[in-house]
Amino acid sequence: MATATTTYREALREALREALSADDRVFLMGEDVGKYGGSFGVSLGLVEEFGPERVRDTPLSESAFVGTGIGAAIAGMRPVVEVMTVNFSLLALDQILNNAATLRHMSGGQLSVPVVIRMTTGAGRQLAAQHSHSLEGWYAHIPGIRVLAPATLEDARGMLAPALADPDPVVIFEHGSLYNVSGELAPVEGPLDVASAAVRRSGDDVTLLTYGGSLPKVLSAADLLAGEGISAEVVDLRSLRPLDDATIMASVARTHRAVVVDEGWRTGSLAAEVSARITEQAFYELDAPVGRVCSAEVPIPYARHLEEAALPQAEGVAAAAREAVGHRG
């Protein structure tokens, strides 16, 4: 089928449009999702198309409107709640953790919370320390929710429908540096599998595991490495909870080396979890210690050079891969 040129932002919008058209129970709410079009322009035009009841501007009250989404989901609606950024989601963390993630369990299985919460994450736009953090690893810590990180146009377009079909809460992290990424997107064919990690580039010498906004950097690192004769496999985790252990371990079992790249801080990170699982499940396959490339342990700074230095970059990923390959088991 014919592909079309689109952006990550437009792909997300198309997914929202499709969901709003397909199911009366679906509605979008969040700060400035209406006329303004969403703080990152994702919902631009949707209020004109679907009206202010279903594309609903909320007051500035993260806890109240996220909780309202959770309550509406319990009552059988299919709300998509947009939180401007993961930093602001902390004002709603009570609702997400103490209500969305626990209600099914606390009620002995009586309640279902089919809410989708979308938020922007990540750095790279010189927005400094209160708009740049990557806390998706915290969310991935929580049983009772599914955590997704679309890194490609296809996933931006395709992850919302399965998230809405999920009877449990799903949190979707959109990396701020990806909205303007453009490329070719094939028309949707059937529901997307959101449970599996994806091999974005095949290779034999080392597995580079990453997700979300770091994927383009890791793919660049793989290009650099290819120029040096190192064949890197790139695995996009896609689902941060649950993690697709099978795909991770299958790749590591072939390459015998792994580097995890995560924009979160290293200490207590998602990268730490992936690394621990590899040592638990594939220790005897390893020819080198599992490497990690994470953000420096500092609030993300404003100045461009400092911000760049704080974040994982292609060169640092390549260096970690070289080090892993340097180990000859």
Minimum separation from the CB atom of position 53 to other proteins (A): 7
Q: Taking a C-beta distance cutoff of 8 angstroms, is the pair 256, 291 a contact?
A: no
User: Which residues, including other chains, have CB under 8 Å from residue 93's CB and lie 6 or more apart?
Assistant: none
Residue 94 in tokens: 């009570």
48: helix, coil or strand? helix
Stretch that binds other proteins, among 2-10, 149-157, 164-172, 306-314 (CB under 8 A): 164-172
Residue from 106, 226, 298, 303 in contact with other proteins (CB under 8 A): 106
Residue from 166, 233, 263, 307 in contact with other proteins (CB under 8 A): 166
**What residue type is assigned to position 243 of the chain?**
L
Minimum separation from the CB atom of position 78 to other proteins (A): 10
Residue from 44, 90, 111, 253 in contact with other proteins (CB under 8 A): 111
- By CB under 8 A, is residue 118 in contact with other proteins? no
Minimum separation from the CB atom of position 211 to other proteins (A): 17
- By CB under 8 A, is residue 129 in contact with other proteins? no
- By CB under 8 A, is residue 242 in contact with other proteins? yes
Cβ-based neighbour number of residue 221 at 10 Å: 29
Report the site for other proteins in 12-71 (rule: CB under 8 A). Answer: 27, 53, 58-59, 61, 63-71
Stretch that binds other proteins, among 110-118, 130-138, 152-160, 218-226 (CB under 8 A): 110-118
- Active-site residues, by number, are 62, 131
- By CB under 8 A, is residue 282 in contact with other proteins? no
As to burial, measured by CB atoms within 10 angstroms (0-12 exposed, 13-18 middle, 19+ buried), residue 167 is exposed
Minimum separation from the CB atom of position 36 to other proteins (A): 17
User: Which residues, including other chains, have CB under 8 Å from residue 15's CB and lie 6 or more apart?
Assistant: 156, 157, 158, 159, 160, 161
Q: How far apart are CA 288 and CA 205, in angstroms?
A: 11
Q: Which of residues 263 and 273 has its CB atom nearest to other proteins in the complex? A: 273
* Helical segments of the chain, H only: 8-22, 46-50, 62-74, 86-89, 93, 103-106, 136-139, 153-158, 160-165, 215-227, 245-255, 270-282, 304-310, 314-326
Minimum separation from the CB atom of position 297 to other proteins (A): 27
Stretch that binds other proteins, among 140-148, 150-158, 209-217, 293-301 (CB under 8 A): 140-148
Minimum separation from the CB atom of position 62 to other proteins (A): 8
Distance of CA 72 to the CA centre of its chain: 24
Q: Characterize the bridge pairing of strands 239-241 and 146-148.
A: antiparallel
List, in sequence order, every residue forming a beta bridge with 261; answer none if it has no partner: 293
Q: Which of residues 9 and 104 has its CB atom nearest to other proteins in the complex? A: 104
Stretch that binds other proteins, among 97-105, 127-135, 182-190, 202-210 (CB under 8 A): 97-105
Q: How far apart are CA 202 and CA 198, in angstroms?
A: 10
Contacts to other proteins by CB under 8 A: 27, 53, 58-59, 61, 63-77, 79, 94-95, 98-99, 103-112, 143-146, 166-168, 195, 241-242, 245, 277
